[in-house]
Amino acid sequence: MTIREFKMPDVGEGLTEAEILKWYVQPGDTVTDGQVVCEVETAKAAVELPIPFDGVVHALLFEEGTTVDVGQVIISVQTGEAEAPAPAAAAVEPAPAAAEPAPAARQPVLVGYGVSEASTKRRPRKAAPAPAVAAQNGTAAPVAAPAPAAPAAPAPLPAVPAQPSGERPLAKPPVRKLAKDLGIDLASVVPTGDGGVVTREDVHAAAAAAITPQAAAPAAAPAAAPAAVAAPVAQAAAPAVDASVRETRIPVKGVRKVTAQAMVGSAFTAPHVTEFITFDVTRTMKLVQELKADPDLAGLRINPLLLIAKAVLVAIRRNPDVNASWDEAAQEIVLKHYVNLGIAAATPRGLIVPNIKDAHAKTLGELSESLSALVATARDGKTSPADMQNGTITLTNVGVFGVDTGTPILNPGESAILAVGAIKLQPWVHKGKVKPRHVTTLALSFDHRLIDGELGSRFLADIASVLEHPRRLITWS
């Protein structure tokens, strides 16, 4: 009999810590080599951790919600043929609803939101201490069906035909994320997909079924029903209802923590210069409509951002020195002969900047596919750390919020970032007459160590020129 320890690995590239989001096992559970035992959140992605050996869980050394340094032991497992030890004293875990052990044949997903067991809701961040106290002062059994799950588990769900007992529901990662966001337990959803796979339509149907019965309930029931369905919103807004609570403190962790560190480091390391240009993009908007009707591009997402990205790539080809980085240690400027085009994406976990690898080598159709995949992956929370490494230049589209422009801060290690403002109909002088035209403003921030004013100005002017006269996408390519 041997007690083996499993340490928090470096699940990204040089990450130093991760937060434990959910334990899938409890002390006394049997685990097999490759079985996912927990889900952790790094500064860049949510990651499932498989354990690399067989045995019986001896102790969980950290509670859910705890930030753990890389290299620290997070779980101990007793190997050999002995019976499982009594884990009461060893477990510090508040013992949420017990998860069924994952089947041995399950393929672990090391990066991104993988095939994890759906929970009715994400753990409550502010209310987390209360379940922990309950778990320590009570027995494990009452905690398995307690207050943490109650707000997010709609009462009518047990009436829905459930999955066979002991089996993990089959569903793709985006569907699991959807179920988590809607507060739906996948185990209670009737699958209609091939091979018993739960689809997005199944989850929406389960959510609708959870709400419909409550509409017919007595007068007292409707008051409680919305609270159950909208638990995450209600919890977030609760402090504002209490007039005695004037401030709420939110721990800085995960994406927010790393974003803050990166922005401060960038702002006070790279000397920023921001230039602006306002111009007519009417021809580009017409081209967007023509491309949407092109049979060769059928099924692809064609929008102004796609053509702006293409214009940036054309401008980089004309001004290759803007695509560089500063090596402080070697005191060298590193010219990049490739473009990994970053796209700033706002996600529920915070701002992330995944990038399209080798964007310079892609056709317009390939760029559209890559852009759509990048956005979908970010929205579903599956962006991997590798997807956010080695960017060269970034686009941030503040125009989607109706904002005209801004002064963006460089993504660390990159030479420039382009902010795209809202495209609006404005009076504009065109061919000697004032006419309504589609107008936008671009803002380019760049590292003045790498890019002087002349180069930065030519680069920004070239981007605007391509978008004002999109035929240059061909003549300058």
Do 184 and 163 touch, CB atoms closer than 8 A?
A: no
Say which of 204, 360, 430, 448 is annotated catalytic: 448
- What pLDDT, on the 0 to 100 scale, is given for residue 121? 40
User: Higher model confidence: residue 296 or residue 14?
Assistant: 296
Q: What is the mean pLDDT of the chain?
A: 76
Q: Single out the residue of 301, 293, 296 nearest to residue 343, CA to CA.
A: 301
Which residue do the tokens 């510090």 mark?
Answer: 92
∠ at Cα 206 (203, 207), nearest 5°? 85
> Is 80 exceeded by the pLDDT of residue 391?
yes
Q: Encoding tokens for residue 166?
A: 């002991």
Residues 278-325: tens digit of each pLDDT: 999 999 999 999 999 999 999 999 999 999 999 999 999 999 999 999
pLDDT the model gives residue 189: 84
Q: Which two tokens stand for residue 130?
A: 């209360």
- Identify which has the larger pLDDT, 77 or 177: 77
Please check the confidence at residue 134 and state whether its pLDDT lies above 80: no
Query: CA–CA separation, 294 vs 281, rounded Å?
Result: 20
pLDDT (0 to 100) of residue 301: 93
Amino acid in the structure at residue 115: V
The pLDDT, as a whole number, for residue 43 is 64
Q: What is the pLDDT of residue 44?
A: 61
pLDDT value at position 439?
Answer: 97
Query: Has residue 66 got a pLDDT over 50?
Result: yes
So what's the pLDDT on residue 198? 82
pLDDT of residue 234: 34
What pLDDT score does 208 carry?
Answer: 67
Residue 79 pLDDT greater than 50, yes or no: yes
Average pLDDT over residues 45-73: 88
Residue 14: band (very low, low, confident or very high) from pLDDT cuts 50, 70, 90 = low
Instruction: Note the pLDDT of residue 244.
Output: 79
Distance CA 272, CA 277 (A): 17
26-40, 62-76, 212-226, 412-426: range with highest mean pLDDT: 412-426
Residues 6 or more apart from 218 whose CB is under 8 A from it? none
Is the Cβ–Cβ distance between 85 and 53 less than 8 Å? no
Q: What are the φ and ψ backbone dihedral angles of 210, each rounded to 5 degrees?
A: -70, -30
pLDDT at 12 over 50: yes
Residue 412: its pLDDT value, please?
Answer: 87
Q: What is the pLDDT of residue 177?
A: 66
Q: Which tokens in the block code for residue 320?
A: 């290759």
Average pLDDT over residues 396-423: 93
CB 380 within 8 A of CB 174: yes
Question: Which letter does DSSP use for residue 390 in this model?
Answer: S
- In the structure, what pLDDT confidence band is assigned to residue 88 with cuts at 50, 70 and 90? very low
Annotated catalytic residue 448: yes
162-209 pLDDT tens trace? 455 556 677 766 677 677 767 788 788 888 887 788 887 787 777 766
pTM of this prediction?
Answer: 0.56
Distance (Å, rounded) from C-alpha 27 to C-alpha 219?
A: 43
pLDDT tens for residues 206-244? 776 665 444 444 333 333 333 333 333 333 344 455 677
- SS3 of residue 242 by DSSP: coil
Q: Are 418 and 393 in contact (CB under 8 A)?
A: yes
**Band of pLDDT at residue 255, cut at 50, 70 and 90:** low
Tell me the backbone φ, ψ of residue 393, rounded to 5 degrees: -145, 145
In a 13 Å sphere around the CA of 172, the CA atoms on its Cβ side amount to 12
In this prediction, residues 376-403 reach a mean pLDDT of: 89
Mean pLDDT of 92-104: 43
Q: What tens digit of pLDDT does each residue of 438-469 get?
A: 999 999 999 999 999 999 999 999 999 999 99
Q: What is d(CA 438, CA 433) in angstroms, rounded to the nearest whole number?
A: 15
Question: Position 142: which residue type?
Answer: P
